[in-house]
Each structure stands twice: as C-alpha cells, then as structure tokens.
Amino acid sequence: MKIRVGFGYDVHRLTEGRDLWLGGIKIEYSKGLIGHSDADVLIHAICDALLGAANLRDIGFHFPDTAKEYKDVDSKLLLKKTLEVLTEKGYRIGNIDATICAEQPKINPHIPQMQKVMAEILNIDTDDISIKATTSEKMGFVGREEGFSSYAVALIEKI
C-alpha cells in the first residue's frame, strides 16, 4: 500500500458585509472572509493538503483567482473537484486533520456540522475528518480579529 501526506495552509481577511463560510457551512457572524470565492479558509487549506499529497500543486493552480468561473464560487464545489482530481490520479482519502485559528466567533459548536458536510462531499466517514479550533491568544492578525487562518494535513492512499 502506498500512502502520501500533504499539508495545507490558508488565510483570509475579515470584513463587514460578507457572509462567513467555514467548512462548507454558513456561520452567523457580523463579518465574513474576503476572497475571490466564498473565502472558506478551512476548505481551501484542506484542498491544498489533498492536492499536495498527490503532488498536484495547489488550489490556486487548479482554481485561479483570475478565473471568472470561480468568482464567489461555493468552496464546496472546489472540494468536490479536488476529490475528482485525486480519484482520477488513483488516490482515495485516508484521513484529514485540520485546525481553524480565529478569535471570534466560537467555532467548536459548528464542528460536527462541518464534518458532516465535508465528509459527504469527500465520500468519507465523519470520523475521518478531524477539525479543531483555536485562537492565537490575541496575538497577530488573527488575535486582532483581522482574519482567520487554517491548517490541514491529509493522508491519501493509492487505490
């Protein structure tokens, strides 16, 4: 059995007047993340981890922010397309471990729904997608509530 590991990282700024999308779900909050797509920082980090594990470059290569078809796109579609690319190359997902860094709002209550939504898209068990939330203890851009960051590691197996 051949296994591979990939790492993903993403960051987006917060702003007024945008919806907050994380892990494929809309979270009620006074601000949202800025990006060419819906700026779902968690899904973007997971896509990068999966693509990197398969040596398929990164999310910007596959879904460039200069492409009109990805303007304001739902990141769940990017996740689905990432799975399609992995499958075409002969891989399946073993597991994903991800962390969201944000001061507010509290993310932990939303984690089970995020797991459910992304597990359905990726055709894996909710047990195979770990999501954790943390703050940056009021330090840096996350601590000043200027934006969110997210990290992800993915294990894939050759079918």
Calculate what percentage of the chain has a pLDDT beyond 70: 100
Which phi and psi angles does 10 have, rounded to 5°? -150, 160
Residue scoring higher pLDDT (63 or 98):
98
Does 59 belong to an annotated binding site?
yes
DSSP states of 55-123: T---HHHHS-TT-GGGTT--HHHHHHHHHHHHHHTTEEEEEEEEEEE-SSS--GGGHHHHHHHHHHHHT
> What pLDDT is attached to residue 142?
97
Does 137 belong to an annotated binding site?
yes
Does 141 belong to an annotated binding site?
yes
**69 vs 45: CA distance, rounded Å:** 20
Does 75 belong to an annotated binding site?
no
Tell me the torsion sign for CA atoms 48, 51, 55, 58.
negative
Does 58 belong to an annotated binding site?
yes
Does 130 belong to an annotated binding site?
no
Average pLDDT value for the chain:
96
Does 30 belong to an annotated binding site?
no
3-state class of 52 per DSSP?
helix
> What pLDDT is attached to residue 72?
82
Does 37 belong to an annotated binding site?
yes
Q: Is 116 exposed, middle or buried (0-12, 13-18, 19+ CB in 10 A)?
A: middle
Does 134 belong to an annotated binding site?
yes
What pTM does this model have? 0.97
pLDDT tens by residue, 8-51 = 999 999 999 999 999 999 999 999 999 999 999 999 999 999 99
Domains of the chain with bracketed CATH: 3-158 (3.30.1330.50)
Mean pLDDT of 95-122: 98
Residue 67 has pLDDT above 90, yes or no: no
Does 44 belong to an annotated binding site?
yes
